[in-house]
Amino acid sequence: MSASRHVRSLWTAPTVHDDALGSIRRLNADDFPLLERMSIKRMLLAPGSIREPHWHANANELGYVLAGSVLITIVGNADAVITLRVRAGEMFHIDSGALHAIENVGDDSAELVIVFSHERPQDFSLHAAFGAMSDAVLGNTYDVDAVAFSTLPRDTGSPYLVKRSGPSVVPDGADRADPHRFAIEAQSPPVDFQYGQARVSRTQFWPALRNLSMYSLRIADDGMREPHWHPETAELGYVHRGQARMSILDPDGSVDTYLLQPGDMYFIPRAYPHQIEVLGDDVHFLVFFDQPTPGDVGYRLAATAFAPGVLAATFGVDAAALPTFPRTTHDPLIVARRNALDPV
């Protein structure tokens, strides 16, 4: 199959940072022009490494920890200072403009996938913010002599990843319940079949969400994500495990069918119909949306919403030639695969 305009590999995406401290790879609209209202990063942090304190001027942030344990410190509105530990299988949400740092406090490398609510997020670092101000201004701010800052190297660049000085310090209360953290993999899946499950982070379960949400989607080889579309909701997916095939219908009538493997990400604009088939044993997708509560319209419900006469006219056949559509009042989201896969 030829390369798809809907797919990129996040593992080989443009590099923001790469050294012994870790790496950050990014896909935004500069690299992937199809993106709207969403972009994505994959971050690897070596033990003791820190994603320096920073904030995003135009985007909320939704992250999923795939491996390791990180400590996140957030400085937000109304003098709020929050420190929380986020482990593998957990998520975090950070509001646009909130200062935050991500520190690997484990003994192994940490891996994170982070999605932003803008196709071109704008970042400011605390390093650059200090570099923009004079010694006198900083001295006045902290009520000390200006000379106190004369030995502090400053510029308006950003090192992105820095090395912690000394051992990690995890404050008491870092594991307490907090609205910025969500243990999605501990959730009893709202969609649960023998052939697939979906655990969901949306405002119904995580009220802190703004502009973004995510489904942790697992499908076995005998299941399929039914054809569907999301009204007013774009979809950005990341393949954590497994191989799959997707097909998307574009408004010009063309059908884009492509294969997915670990490390790939795909983007589906709002209301484009698509589906997911499993190739191999099973798949695990992180499926992000640009709404805090994504909406779905599935083929299964769509066909049974209309009278047989309407469907017969639509397909240009007699009503007797129509398949027997099972009566459906709620889309199942995941369906059983009773038929053999079409040739790849």
Domain stops at, among 181, 200, 226? 181
Say how many domains are in the chain. 2
Q: Same domain for 228 and 117?
A: no
Euclidean distance between CA atoms 299 and 289, whole angstroms: 19
Banded model confidence at residue 343, pLDDT cuts 50, 70, 90: confident
DSSP-based three-state secondary structure for 84? strand
Banded model confidence at residue 52, pLDDT cuts 50, 70, 90: very high
CATH code of the domain covering residue 321:
2.60.120.10
Q: Same domain for 176 and 200?
A: no
Q: Same domain for 204 and 163?
A: no
Q: Same domain for 210 and 172?
A: no
Banded model confidence at residue 248, pLDDT cuts 50, 70, 90: very high
Longest dimension (CA), the chain: 89
Range of the domain at 303: 186-336
Amino acid at 310: V
Q: Give the pair of three-digit tokens for residue 305.
A: 């919403």
CA-nearest of 166, 168, 161, 165 to 22 is: 161
Q: Same domain for 254 and 176?
A: no
Segment 70-79 mean pLDDT: 95
Q: Same domain for 31 and 156?
A: yes
Euclidean distance between CA atoms 36 and 270, whole angstroms: 9
Q: Same domain for 240 and 303?
A: yes
The residue written with tokens 């209202």 in the block is: 37
Asked if residue 1 has pLDDT above 70, the reply is: no
Q: Same domain for 144 and 275?
A: no
Domain stops at, among 148, 181, 214? 181
Euclidean distance between CA atoms 167 and 164, whole angstroms: 7
Q: Same domain for 318 and 222?
A: yes
DSSP 118-141: SSS--EEEHHHHHHTS-HHHHHHH
Q: Same domain for 201 and 102?
A: no
Euclidean distance between CA atoms 225 and 246, whole angstroms: 10
* pTM score: 0.96
Residue 275 lies in a domain: yes
Q: How far is CA 210 from the centre of its chain?
A: 13
Residue-wise pLDDT for 15-47, tens only, equals 999 999 999 999 999 999 999 999 999 999 999
